[in-house]
Chains A and B, each alone.
Chain A
Amino acid sequence: MNGLTFDIAHLLAGGLVLVSFMMLYQDRLYSLLNMFALHSLVLTLSVAWQAYVQQAPHLYVTATIALVFKAIIIPVALHRMIRRLGIHREIETVVGIGPTMFAGMALVALSMVVMLRVTQAADPLAREDLAFALSVVLLGLLVMVTRRNAVSQIVGFMSLENGLVLAATGAKGMPLVVEISVAFSILIAFIVIGVFLFRIRERFDTVDVRALDDFKGKRRR
């Protein structure tokens, strides 16, 4: 394989991990959303590059979906939702930023150790891609568990899905079925979440998940 193509793929996948890290320390919803848009943009570039390298035109479709849907439509929609709900204040985190960053580093180290060791026989491009993808997935999980706010949990979940798309495109020749399904599932996920948000708003006038937790264990029916 040409050294340059490999380096670019590496750069883009690594960039995705970096943006995941940047999402970890955002303390405002708007900036978190901007980071997510950037995350999806980097994903788009990465997928497009894979499409070019693997000469798999169907991957361009995946890239387009990532660009239009995840880098533009969802962030804009969530922006509007946040403004309408009036919750553009600081995000309350469960854990401080310092420990979160350390945990993030530990997760990335873990995924490198695990994936690079077990994929020695695999194609080097796919191999590194997979290691990065697992890091992005785990960092997305970390975003989800360290935030109390429902919108930021959604963003964490979507960045996790971005990691999955990265993994799926890295696996050479993986049938289109899966890419469509991934995109589709994000769509469904968004609808579901949207429904949730509106219902939650109907009831609580807030999208802070802690408001939900307060009802735990107090059953009155």
Chain B
Amino acid sequence: MNPLAFSPVTGVLLIPASAAVLLALLPSYRMSARLNVFASLLTFITALLLLVTERPQPGRYLLVDDLNIVFIVLNTFVGFTTSVFSASYIGHELETGRLTPANLRFYHAMYQIMMFGMNLAFVSNNIGLMWVAVELATLTTVLMVGIYRTHEALEAAWKYFILGSVGIAFALFGTILVYMAAQPVVGEGYDAMAWTLLIQHAVAFDPALLNVAFVFLLLGYGTKVGLAPLHAWLPDAHAEGPTPISAVLSGLLLNVALYAVLRFKILIAASPEAIAPGPLMVTMGLTSLIFAAFMLYRRRDIKRMFAYSSIEHMGIIVFAFGMGGPLANFAGLLHMVMHSLTKSAIFYAVGHIAQIKGTQRLSSIRGLTESHPGLGWGLVIGVIAIAGLPPLGIFMSEFLVVSSTFARQPLLAILLVLGLLIAFGALLLRLTGVAFGQPRGSTAPVEASYLPMYSHLALVFGGGVYLPPPLVAWFQHIAQLLG
């Protein structure tokens, strides 16, 4: 097969890459905001084509299988809606003078490079290439977090950079160890880094080496997932960067790191004598959940609060995948999709709210449903969804996680439910203040684009009420693969 021939796989990589070049050259910000939306839409459509076209054979570098298609489609969809939100958000930032046109040019180019990095991480069939891609995506977000150049933004970007690079260093070390384990069995060179070959031969790998490798990989990529106690960068990065970046950080970048952890989990699980990866993941997930749930109570900044909520939900997802088994894996996947959609929708609302009010302080935001019904009710639905109330999608996935845990480890399930309830209380407590009561602060009308937010919420609602059978069958199949 000619590797240069156009296929959806190369499409999801080439479109963002060439868009980034174009955006770096275009001076006009209106044009580039539109081009950004257009390129993201094109990438999303190409990703959808992956579902229908015949899949290429796994090559030396690229791979498409059932697992990563889900991630790619989700990634490009949220990437597209965020670019729509970003177009309306960024115009306001320009008016208030927080960003200059030069900043914006940089911002849009970085946005597409980040999309490129994330897509590359998903489709790579090479553990080294995946590492490079994750690192690329991280570095671009570091730059975007620091884009406002305020004290806080710089501090956040610096912290993110330092912790992120420590994480990435550990991940590389783990990657090297996996290669060392594979090299005597698979042979030298590229073969010993290809997922497809690694999985086939994992049985014969040296288990001791794999154990150490997994610890490094879990710590390394776990830093990016935002697992406690390695989460310190996450709230700052979410709170200080532009809100579209908070949305993609929570909705997408955390998933990229999670995907890496999952891939390696499959690999370790394929080796019968290596440690079971499950308990490690369960512990880290549960710690993150309970820790973040308590931290939610003391937040004064609205973006920071939802950042902690992301830590909480990543904890639940990692917990579910750590439990393993068809049901828990299914629940974990569903929860990941629902969380990405809900959390980015919330950030779309929060972005506009913070712009109107000119502040992110929770105490200065009151009575949104009265002053801005469109945004206020969107936020209410989003928070209800994220808190796990029926009939929205997250209720369903959390219910599945809890019930599958109760069947196997009742004690863990109690801790899990405890964490969920604590977080639930904190979120509703804050929501009543923000959404209801006497409006406070500016009540200026808003030029918001409601479409991205409400389309996400509609999907989350749809997911809670009715899941199409083909999707269920697909997720069940992946859940089997995840073991």
Question: What separation, in Å, do the CA atoms of A172 and B188 have in the docked complex?
Answer: 7
Question: Is there a chain B Cβ closer than 8 Å to A203's Cβ?
Answer: yes
Query: Taking the complex as formed, is A157 at the interface, i.e. its CB lies under 8 A from any CB of chain B?
Result: yes
Query: Is B309 an interface residue when CB atoms closer than 8 A count as contact?
Result: no
**A122:B161 contact, CB within 8 angstroms:** no
A130 near B180: Cβ-Cβ < 8 Å: yes
Measured CA separation A31–B407 after assembly (Å)? 61
Closest to B61 in A: A177
State in angstroms the CA–CA spacing of A213 and B192 once bound together: 44
Closest to A118 in B: B208
Judged by a CB distance under 8 angstroms, whether B143 is at the interface is: yes
Check A212 against B173 for contact (C-beta < 8 Å).
no
B contact residues around A182 at 8 Å (CB):
172
Shortest C-beta distance, B460 to chain A (Å), equals 30
Residues of chain A within 8 A (CB-CB) of B149 are 199, 202-203
Q: A185-B132, A192-B143 are in contact. Are A199 and B154 (CB under 8 A)?
A: yes
Looking at the complex, which one of B154, B173, B180 makes contact with A196 (CB distance below 8 Å)?
B154
CB–CB A185/B128 < 8 A = no
Contact call B154/A164, Cβ cutoff below 8 A = no
Across-interface contacts of A167 in B (CB, < 8 A): 173, 176
- A195 within 8 Å of B (CB atoms): yes
Dominant SS at the B interface?
helix
A120 within 8 Å of B (CB atoms): yes
Enumerate B286-336 residues with CB–CB distance to A below 8 Å: 300-301
Binds A, one of B11-19, B162-170, B257-265, B473-481: B162-170
Contact with B along A189-221 (1 / 0, CB 8 A): 100110110011011100001001101100101
Question: CB of B342 within 8 A of chain A?
Answer: no
Q: Chain B residues with Cβ under 8 A from A160's Cβ? A: 166, 169
Chain A interface size, as a band, is: 35 or more
Q: In the complex, what residue of chain B is closest to A56 when comparing beta carbons?
A: B188
* 8 Å CB interface, B118-145 against A: 126, 128-129, 131-132, 135, 139, 142-143
User: Which residues in A have their C-beta under 8 angstroms from that of B301?
Assistant: 219
Q: How far is the CA of A40 from the CA of B265 in the complex (A)?
A: 35
Asked if residues B128 and A181 are in contact (CB atoms below 8 Å), the reply is yes
Q: Does B146 contact A (CB under 8 A)?
A: yes
- Residue in chain B with minimal CB distance to A161: B169
Max chain B Cβ within 10 angstroms of own Cβ: one of A122, A175, A213: A175
Give the shortest distance, in Å, between A9 (CB) and chain B (any CB): 16
A192 touches B212 (CB 8 A): no
Q: From residue 153 to 167 of chain A, which have CB atoms closer than 8 A to chain B?
A: 153, 157, 160-161, 164, 167
Within the complex, what minimum Cβ distance (angstroms) separates B428 from chain A? Answer: 24
Instruction: Point out the residue from B146, B152, B168, B360 that lies within 8 Å of A215, measured CB to CB.
Output: B152
In the complex, B151 has a CB within 8 A of chain A: yes
A121 to B172 Cα, complex, angstroms = 21
Q: Which of A123-182 contact B (CB under 8 A)?
A: 126, 130, 133-134, 137, 141, 144, 150, 153, 157, 160-161, 164, 167-168, 171-175, 177-178, 181-182
Closest to A122 in B: B180
Which residue of B128, B154, B155, B162 is within 8 Å of A177 (Cβ)? B128
**Could you tell me if B155 and A213 are in contact, using CB atoms closer than 8 angstroms?**
yes
Q: Which residue of B lies closest to A188 (CB)?
A: B139
Given known contacts A177-B126, A203-B151, is B206 in contact with A121 (CB within 8 Å)?
Answer: yes
Contacts of A83 in B (CB 8 A): none
Q: Is the CB of A212 within 8 A of B131?
A: no
Contact B180 A119 (CB under 8 A): yes
A82 within 8 A of B: no
Whether the Cβ atoms of A175 and B128 lie closer than 8 Å is yes
Q: Does A115 touch B at the CB level, under 8 Å?
A: yes
Task: State how many angstroms separate the Cβ of B46 from the closest Cβ of chain A.
Answer: 25
Contact A212 B176 (CB under 8 A): no
CB–CB B173/A172 < 8 A: no
B180 touches A212 (CB 8 A): no
Q: Which of A133, A157, A200 interacts with B154 by CB under 8 Å?
A: A200
Instruction: Determine if A153 and B162 form an interchain contact, defined as CB atoms under 8 angstroms apart.
Output: yes
User: CA A188 – CA B135 in complex, angstroms?
Assistant: 10
Task: Contact check, B206 vs A196: say whether CB atoms are below 8 A apart.
Answer: no
B190 on the interface (CB 8 Å rule)? Answer: yes
Residues of A within 8 A of B165 (CB): 157, 189
Instruction: Considering the complex, give the chain A residue whose CB is closest to the CB of B135.
Output: A185
- The answer to whether A192 touches B142, judged by C-beta atoms less than 8 angstroms apart, is yes
Please measure, in the bound complex, the distance between the C-alpha atom of A29 and the C-alpha atom of B84, giving whole angstroms: 47
Q: Which single member of A117, A137, A189, A202 contacts B173 (CB below 8 Å)?
A: A137
Asked if B189 contacts A173 (CB within 8 A), the reply is yes
Partner of A195, one of B128, B143, B166, B212: B143
A118 to chain B, nearest CB (A): 4
User: What distance in Å separates the Cβ of A105 from its nearest Cβ neighbour in chain B?
Assistant: 20
Q: Which of A118, A161, A173, A219 makes the CB contact (< 8 A) with B212?
A: A118
Check if B212 sits within 8 Å of A114, measured CB to CB.
yes
* Contact A141 to B208, CB < 8 A, known contacts A188-B139, A212-B151: no
Given A157-B162, A199-B146, A212-B154: A175 in contact with B193 (beta carbons within 8 A): yes
Asked whether A118 lies within 8 Å of B211 as measured between CB atoms, the reply is yes
Contacts of A137 in B (CB 8 A): 169, 173
Q: How far is the CA of A126 from the CA of B193 in the complex (A)?
A: 17
Q: Separation in Å of the B174 CB from the closest CB of chain A?
A: 10
CB–CB B180/A144 < 8 A: no
CA distance A71 to B308 in the complex (A): 41
Asked if residues B176 and A209 are in contact (CB atoms below 8 Å), the reply is no
Q: Is B70 an interface residue (CB 8 A)?
A: no
In the complex the two chains form, is B128's CB within 8 Å of A221's CB? no
Closest Cβ–Cβ distance, residue B15 to chain A (whole Å) = 22
CA of A141 to CA of B154, assembled, Å = 21
Q: Is the Cβ of A173 less than 8 Å from the Cβ of B151?
A: no
Question: B residues within 8 A CB of A161?
Answer: 169
Complex A-B: 9 CB contacts under 8 Å: A119-B180, A122-B184, A172-B183, A177-B193, A181-B131, A181-B135, A196-B157, A203-B154, A216-B155
Residues of A within 8 A of B (CB): 114-115, 117-122, 126, 130, 133-134, 137, 141, 144, 150, 153, 157, 160-161, 164, 167-168, 171-175, 177-178, 181-182, 184-185, 188-189, 192-193, 195-196, 199-200, 202-204, 209, 212-213, 215-216, 219, 221
**Known pairs A157-B162, A221-B361 / 12 extra A-B pairs, C-beta < 8 Å:** A118-B209, A118-B211, A160-B166, A161-B169, A181-B131, A192-B143, A196-B146, A200-B158, A204-B151, A209-B158, A213-B155, A219-B360
